[in-house]
Structure formats: C-alpha cells, structure tokens
Chains A and B, each alone.
Chain A
Amino acid sequence: MKLLKLPQQRKRRFGFVDSFLWAVRIGALVFVVVGIFGIPGVAGGPEGSLFKTLSGEGVSGEAWRDLFISGLAQGSMYGMIALGYSLVYGVLGFINFAHGEVFMSGALVSFFAADAFATAGIWESQPVLALGFTILVAMATSTIVAVLTERIAYRRLRGSPRLIPLITSIGMSFFIRYTFRGLFGDSFKTYPAAPGVLEGRATIFGVEILKTQLTVIVVTAVSMVVLYQFVARTRMGRAMRAIAEDREIAALMGVNVDRVISLTFAVGGAMAGIAGVLWALLFRQVHFLTGFLPGIKGFTAAVVGGIGNMAGAYVGGLAIGLVESVGPLLVLDGWGIPAVSQLKDVVAFSALVLVLIYRPTGLLGERLSVEERG
C-alpha cells in the first residue's frame, strides 16, 4: 500500500513549472539582448538601442552617461530606504510597510528647517552647516517615527503569524501618511534650490556629473560605510548582528532584545531620514504621498539584493535604480515599443521577478535569523 511517497522516491520530473521557468529565463535573455543589440541583417526588424546610438539617432552618448548617473543617484536613495526594510525583515521577519512613511516624515519635517535656513539666508551662505542640520532634523524625525511604530504596534505582535504584523504595518502606513496630511496639509512643500555651491556640474574622472547627484551618491556611500563600521565594530552593532542571527541565543547571552530591536528600527529610520533630505535635494518637492512609491521600490530593492543583508540592500537599490533609469530606453526602445518611459515600473518589477527566477535568494543572498529561516 503506497501511503507515503518518501522524498527520495519521488522522481524530480521536468514538470510544467520548470519548463515555464526555463522559457522565461531564455525568453528574457533573448528579449534583452535583441533590445540592446538588435537582430543583425533582418530588414525592418528591431534595431537595438545600442545600434541606434552608434548610428547617430536614438539616445546620445552623453545622454546614456546622464541616465546612468541619474540611475545611480536614484538607486542610492532606494538603497538607503531598502536598508530599513532589510534590517527589520532579517530580525523580525515581516515587511514593514510603514517604512516608506518613515522616509516621508523625515523629508517633510526637515523642509521646515530648510525653509527657515533659506529665509535667513544661511542656506546660501553656510550650505554645509544648513544642509547638515537639515539632515540631522530629518534623521531625528524618521528615527522617532520608526521607533514609535515599533513600540506602539510591532512589539506586541512578536510571534504572531506573519500576516498580522503585515496588516498592522499597512494600517500604520495609512495612519502616518494621513496624520501627516492632516497636520501639514496636502500642498507640496518646495525645498529651496540647491545652494550655489551645488549648482551645475562637476567633472570626476573625466565624467561630467550634476553636483547634486554627486552629493547624493557620495553621502549615501559614506553613510553606508559608517553604518558598516558601526555594525562591525561597536558593541551595539554586534548585538544587532547577534539578534539578526538568533534571537533566543542572543537573549541568553545577555543582549537586551527589546532595546536592540528598537535600535534596529532606529538605524533604519536614520538612513531613511538621510535619504529623505537627499531626495528633496534632487527633486525639491515633497508631500505626504512622497513615501508611497519609494517605499515599495525600497522593499523590491531589498529583496533583489538579498533580504537581511545590508550590502545586499545597497546593491539591490543601485540595481533597481539603474534598471529603472536605463532599462526602458536600453531594452524596450530597441523593440520599437512606443512611450517606453511609461513602462519604467514594469521594467523594475520585471527585474525583480527575473532576479528571483535566476537567483531565488537575491543577488547577494539572503541573511535571516534562525527563527525566520525555519
């Protein structure tokens, strides 16, 4: 009587799913390659975007460069946001939907600081001081919001089936978003233009970059390095890593789990706050809905890079930013699809699906605690 089929007895047939996935893998590769390089020798067929550039039409060389840098800048900010998602997921195992609003809160509140500086003239005369202080305000706000969400909502839900914290975080995100709307109104807050010292382009290694974009890339990179040092060298950082590895054992080793989890949220919040000011520097306008889409992209980036993995969050962010920026023109345009920029989110999410199909644990692999791995 064959009641049980033990795993080793099951033949791993090349089933429907596998053939579908392989079809997707190959199909995607073909699609991308044709989009970029075109089909040589086929009259009237798609002309790859690279082909178009080389023949003088299409996107120019400088434009590709600008797209690339813009993608890097955007991606760096996604990376900073992704960090919050990644850290929380690695430790607590759920998607903190409210993190996008943590980002927004920093950007929105620091506007008032920036505006005050601009009115007082300090924004132009002492840009480093003004910008630095604005970033501090954003960091403080985002950190407070993040820690509060943890204390009020998530602490009580540790150990609940994972759907519950997820819904709670969705509710929290709505609550924060519309509270901020109620408090600060729904008009757009326009940041002062970048201080004179950051206007125009700079030439780095022979490449011309907009100074604001350069600032974004540099500040995020520096923040990442500082964070890495913090986590690697300090005691609190070690405690964070311990909890991320195995919460129970860490508690037995004397780590104050509650406090360190709050710290994890705080760190994620601080990074999001920095991202908020950088975002405002690049795009100037913020309002209560600013956090919605970057939040989703942030989590996408965290998954793409490898969830729970700090470096993964950064890499994932850069990947999503680049794919979003360069992808439509590089791949879709080559196929003759009209209005490709409209499809940039399609490209970003398709990239997510493809990364997970090619490499199910994300680009740099996931890092989860023992509780979540099981």
Chain B
Amino acid sequence: MSKKMKFRHLGVLVLVFALIAAACGDDDTADTTTAATTADTTADTTADTTADTTADTTMAPMAFPPEAGAWGGVLIAAGAPVEIRTLQAISESVAFLGVDQNRGTELALEDFGDVLGHPVNLGTAEDDLCLGEGGASGATAIAAQEGVLGVIGTTCSGAAFPAIPIFHAAGIVLISGSNTNATLTSDFQGNAGENWMNNYLRTAHNDLIQGAAAAIFAYDNLGLRKMGTIHDGDPYTSGLAGSFGLTFTELGGEIVVATSVAKEDTNMVPVLTEIAAGEPDGIYFPIFQPAGDFIVQQVGGISGLEDVQMYGADGLITPDHFSLPETEGVYYSGPDLGFDANAGFTGETYTNLVARYEAAYGELPTAAFHAHTYDATMMLLFAIESVAVEGPDGELWVDRLALRDFLYNISDFAGVTGTLTCDEFGDCGGNVVSVILNLDSDDPQAGIGNVVFRAGKGAGGEVVILPLG
C-alpha cells in the first residue's frame, strides 16, 4: 500500500472515532450527580448507625442526607469548609474593578463568619480577563472543583456570557455585583433576556435603567437639548451610550454625534472636534480611565466646546479621576452610592465598611461596585445557611436547586446598597441610579458623595425619580 493510502486510512480512523467518541461524550451534569450519589452512599452508613441512638427528637428522624434535587447537592463533612469562589477581572486594565470587588467579598466573609459552624473558603481567586475566553476558562476551572456552591462574579458582562452556561451545567449559582448588560436578565417588561439562565443573579443595576435615568437628568434637570455621546468600544460603555441616546431622543432631544474612541487613545482633539461640529450643549462620555481623563483635560482646548456640559459615568467615579481639576463641574451617572444610612445584613454600616476597607487594603475603595459585591456575597452565604440541612455528626447538606430557589425568592434583604428583592429573572439590585457632581478636585470623596439626582425602577420597569439622600 502506498503512503497515500495509509494516511487516508488514518484520516478516516481519526474522524470516525472522533465522531463516535463525541457522541458518547460525558456531559458535565453527570459529574455532579456522581458526587451526590457517592456522597449518599458514604453518608448512609453513618446515618444508619446513628439513627437508632437519636431518641429525643420531637419528629420522626429524617434520613440524612435527604434525597438530592434535580441539580444534585453537596455534603460537607464536619469541620470542612463551605466552598464558594470568585471570578473577577483581577489583571490588566480593569483590575481596579475586579480587585475592588474581591475585597468586598472578603469583607463580607469576615462579617458573616461561619455558616452553621463551618468556615467559608474562597479558594483561588479566578480571573475573568474581562473577556469571554477568561470567563469560560475560569468557570471551567471552578466547576471542576468539588463542592462549589456559588460563585461571585463576573466583573465584565462579556465574561458572563459563556460562564453562565458552564455554571448552569454544574448546578452552580453565579451572582454578580457589577454585570449590567440587560440581556443577562430581562428588559423589565417581563421578557427574559436573550442570554439569561436561571442560575444567574445580580445585585448591580440593569443598563436600561442607568442610560434612561442619565438621559432624563440631562434633558429635564440640565435642560440640554443637543448632545454628543462617546463610548470606547467596550460592550458596557457602548450599551450605556446607546441606551442614553434612545431615551434622550424619546424625550425630544437630539443626539448630534454618536462616536467613540479606542481605550488606548491619548489624543482626543480629533474626536472632540468631530463632536464640536454638531454644536452640542453637552457630551455624555460613559467611558473608563485613562481615556476619560484625556477627554476632560483636552475638551477645554477645542474651539466650540468651551461651554459644553461634560457628563460621564461610573467608569470614571474613582478618586484618581475626581482629583483632576478639569473634572470640577462635571456630572457623573452611576449606581447610587449613597449608602451611608444603610446597614448591611449583619448590621454593619457602610461607613464602617469603608473604614475597614481602608484599614485592610491601604486605600479607599477604587471603584463603585465593592458594596454590591459585599451584598451579593452576603446573600449567597445567607441562602446557604438557610437551606443547609444539618446532619447528626456536624455535617451539612446543601441542595443546589433549593439554594437557587431561595436566592431567587429573596425579598427585602437588608443590604448596604439598599433593600434587595430578586425578581423572576435574577435582577436583585435596588436599581437605584444617581448622578453626582464633582465640585472640588481637592476633595474627591466629597465629590463622589455629592448626589444631585436619584432615580430607580418603578413597578412597570420604567424610571421613577427618587428623593435625594
């Protein structure tokens, strides 16, 4: 046989067996049930021996562990930790967001303490790289570990898209403190988002609310009629700018120029000139640093934009940005941070939380979402504690589906970000958005706290204006 024939045969072999093997491939869901069933068999023996000795129970002794639900369950041995994980963007340019959120989680762990006598273990913090690939590989790594009940993350909505199905296949709930993309939950009109799955929740606000609220403020409060918008090619900023534009136009305003920069751009003269050509009253630029810094610094030098009202968003609500003198007089929309009056689930006040944050990490919170992540972690731990069934020898049994159901049914949960109630699509956040005004660049914290407008979500999903503070 010639060489040619031989290789063709091999090629056939390869393809045939790849297809056959793929057909019989293991599904990830099989793994969790195996864990559950093996857990069952090992636990049953102990249950049998102790069942006889338990005498003083007021009800008939229940078999431990109980039968697992559709998503399986986790048996935690006596003294063993409760396993939860984090999947945030902790590297590269968005590290300030992800690291900030991980700190929120760590503080929550400190406050909540043990779950029914079992310590809580965060394991290795996974990196979502603010990209789909990172979300997928991080989710796979977490789902491969045993007994993970819930994950706090992701930072960027883009990373959540592939992560959610991977977690769903393993029965793990994912709660995010900073994803805002609307298709991950719903459109507030009762329609599930395209990318929603029933293991996903979030405590951050939905993009639809922020864009709309920001536009209402611009049109009604600031009286702006012609605006330019700038985004930076990021799904978040692009979505926000888009939703702003929609509402602003609905109200009767005009978006004269909708353009964008690249994240690494430094020379903003061209883009600002492009906007100046439309003669706007204001510019909405919901982008991140450093592009946002460059914009405010260079807008003064563009003829035609000397009196334009600058209007940013939460990507720029950082002490760093607020200490630039050019940010005085600039408005910023973002999740409401007026938490000072709030006390979290364990009674810890937000003010105290910030103080502890600074003491532990040497700096004030670097981004806006640590508090939302604190609440998300609290919710998760509270839910685990509530659905866990204690065994006779100090074990714990947690049914995954029961955990998810409990989370989705949470209402009036005391969080530092406000009272949280989860709707049928996983939007738990207060969805309160505020606009702040930076008046003094020497006191950035004062600027971050200077709320001039607050809005939230009404019953029908529309934007309702709320009283300040």
List residues of chain A with CB under 8 Å of any chain B CB.
52, 57-60, 62-63, 66-67, 70, 74, 186-188, 190, 193, 210, 279, 282-285, 287, 289-290, 292-293, 324-326, 328-329, 333, 338-342, 344-345
A319 nearest CB across to chain B (Å): 15
Q: A285 and B259: CB pair below 8 A?
A: no
Whether A70 contacts B259 in the complex (CB less than 8 A), given A63-B302, A188-B289, A285-B294, comes out as: no
**Across the interface, which residues of A come within 8 angstroms of B325, CB to CB?**
193
A318 nearest CB across to chain B (Å): 14
**Across the interface, which residues of A come within 8 angstroms of B260, CB to CB?**
339, 341-342
B313 nearest CB across to chain A (Å): 18
Q: A342 and B233: CB pair below 8 A?
A: yes
Q: A325 and B304: CB pair below 8 A?
A: no
Q: B293 and A59: CB pair below 8 A?
A: no
Q: B293 and A67: CB pair below 8 A?
A: no
Q: B270 and A284: CB pair below 8 A?
A: no
Q: B270 and A58: CB pair below 8 A?
A: no
**Across the interface, which residues of A come within 8 angstroms of B257, CB to CB?**
339
Q: B290 and A67: CB pair below 8 A?
A: no
Q: A284 and B303: CB pair below 8 A?
A: no
Query: CA A284 – CA B301 in complex, angstroms?
Result: 14
Contact of A59 among B92, B258, B262, B273 (CB under 8 A): B273
**Is B140 an interface position by the 8 A CB rule?**
no
Chain B residue at minimum C-beta to C-beta distance from A293 = B264
B126 nearest CB across to chain A (Å): 19
Q: B262 and A60: CB pair below 8 A?
A: no
Q: B277 and A58: CB pair below 8 A?
A: yes
Query: CA A59 – CA B93 in complex, angstroms?
Result: 34
Query: CA A292 – CA B261 in complex, angstroms?
Result: 17
Q: B261 and A70: CB pair below 8 A?
A: no
Contact of A340 among B259, B276, B294 (CB under 8 A): B259
**Across the interface, which residues of B come within 8 angstroms of A70, CB to CB?**
267, 269-270
Chain A residue at minimum C-beta to C-beta distance from B323 = A190
B367 nearest CB across to chain A (Å): 13
Q: A59 and B320: CB pair below 8 A?
A: no
Q: A338 and B95: CB pair below 8 A?
A: no
Whether A63 contacts B304 in the complex (CB less than 8 A), given A324-B270, A325-B267, A342-B233, comes out as: yes
Query: CA A193 – CA B261 in complex, angstroms?
Result: 23
Q: Mark B269-285, 1 if CB is under 8 A from A, else 0.
A: 11101101100000000
Q: A341 and B271: CB pair below 8 A?
A: yes
Q: A59-B273, A186-B93 are in contact. List 7 more A-B contacts (CB 8 A).
A: A59-B276, A60-B303, A63-B277, A66-B269, A282-B266, A325-B267, A342-B261
Chain A residue at minimum C-beta to C-beta distance from B301 = A210
**Across the interface, which residues of B come within 8 angstroms of A284, CB to CB?**
293-294, 297
Q: A63 and B259: CB pair below 8 A?
A: no
Q: B303 and A63: CB pair below 8 A?
A: yes
Q: A283 and B269: CB pair below 8 A?
A: no
**Across the interface, which residues of A come within 8 angstroms of B274, CB to CB?**
59, 328-329, 333, 340-341
Query: CA A344 – CA B13 in complex, angstroms?
Result: 51
Q: List 20 A-B contacts (CB under 8 A).
A: A59-B274, A63-B302, A66-B301, A67-B269, A186-B95, A188-B289, A188-B320, A282-B267, A283-B294, A284-B293, A285-B290, A289-B93, A289-B264, A324-B270, A325-B267, A325-B269, A338-B259, A339-B258, A341-B271, A342-B259
B193 nearest CB across to chain A (Å): 26
Q: Mark B55-80, 1 if CB is under 8 A from A, else 0.
A: 00000000000000000000000000
Say what secondary structure dominates the interface of chain A: helix
**Across the interface, which residues of B come within 8 angstroms of A57, CB to CB?**
277
Query: CA A347 – CA B457 in complex, angstroms?
Result: 43
Chain B residue at minimum C-beta to C-beta distance from A181 = B92
Q: A341 and B270: CB pair below 8 A?
A: yes
Chain A residue at minimum C-beta to C-beta distance from B279 = A57
Query: CA A197 – CA B325 in complex, angstroms?
Result: 18
Query: CA A339 – CA B260 in complex, angstroms?
Result: 6
Q: A329 and B266: CB pair below 8 A?
A: no
B465 nearest CB across to chain A (Å): 31
Query: CA A328 – CA B269 in complex, angstroms?
Result: 12
**Across the interface, which residues of A come within 8 angstroms of B259, CB to CB?**
338-342
**Across the interface, which residues of B come within 8 angstroms of A344, CB to CB?**
270
B283 nearest CB across to chain A (Å): 13
Top 7 A-B residue pairs of the complex, sorted by shortest distance between their CB atoms: A341-B271, A70-B269, A339-B259, A62-B303, A342-B260, A283-B266, A59-B277
Q: B262 and A345: CB pair below 8 A?
A: yes
B444 nearest CB across to chain A (Å): 13
**Across the interface, which residues of A come within 8 angstroms of B276, CB to CB?**
59-60, 63
Query: CA A195 – CA B264 in complex, angstroms?
Result: 26
Contact of B293 among A62, A66, A188, A339 (CB under 8 A): A188
Q: Mark B154-176, 1 if CB is under 8 A from A, else 0.
A: 00000000000000000000000
Query: CA A74 – CA B273 in complex, angstroms?
Result: 16
**Across the interface, which residues of B come within 8 angstroms of A333, CB to CB?**
274, 277
Q: A328 and B270: CB pair below 8 A?
A: yes
Q: B303 and A66: CB pair below 8 A?
A: yes
Q: A187 and B294: CB pair below 8 A?
A: no
Query: CA A74 – CA B265 in complex, angstroms?
Result: 12
**Across the interface, which residues of A come within 8 angstroms of B320, CB to CB?**
187-188, 190
Chain B residue at minimum C-beta to C-beta distance from A347 = B270
Query: CA A230 – CA B242 in complex, angstroms?
Result: 55
Chain B residue at minimum C-beta to C-beta distance from A341 = B271
Contact of A329 among B270, B297, B302 (CB under 8 A): B270
Query: CA A338 – CA B271 in complex, angstroms?
Result: 12
**Across the interface, which residues of A come within 8 angstroms of B290, CB to CB?**
188, 285, 287
**Across the interface, which residues of B come within 8 angstroms of A210, CB to CB?**
301
Chain B residue at minimum C-beta to C-beta distance from A208 = B303
**Across the interface, which residues of A come within 8 angstroms of B301, CB to CB?**
66, 210
Query: CA A147 – CA B325 in complex, angstroms?
Result: 39
Q: A60 and B304: CB pair below 8 A?
A: yes
**Across the interface, which residues of A come within 8 angstroms of B293, CB to CB?**
188, 190, 284-285
Query: CA A68 – CA B260 in complex, angstroms?
Result: 20
**Across the interface, which residues of B come within 8 angstroms of A190, CB to CB?**
293, 320, 324
A221 nearest CB across to chain B (Å): 19
**Of B267, B304, B320, which is in contact with the most chain A CB atoms at under 10 Å from its CB?**
B267
Q: Mark B162-200, 1 if CB is under 8 A from A, else 0.
A: 000000000000000000000000000000000000000
Chain A residue at minimum C-beta to C-beta distance from B230 = A341
Contact of A283 among B258, B267, B271, B289 (CB under 8 A): B267
B231 nearest CB across to chain A (Å): 9
Chain A residue at minimum C-beta to C-beta distance from B92 = A186
Q: B273 and A67: CB pair below 8 A?
A: yes
Q: Mark B233-272, 1 if CB is under 8 A from A, else 0.
A: 1000000000000000000000001111110101101110
Query: CA A359 – CA B338 in complex, angstroms?
Result: 61
B245 nearest CB across to chain A (Å): 12
B272 nearest CB across to chain A (Å): 9
**Across the interface, which residues of A come within 8 angstroms of B269, CB to CB?**
66-67, 70, 325
B50 nearest CB across to chain A (Å): 55
Chain B residue at minimum C-beta to C-beta distance from A201 = B301
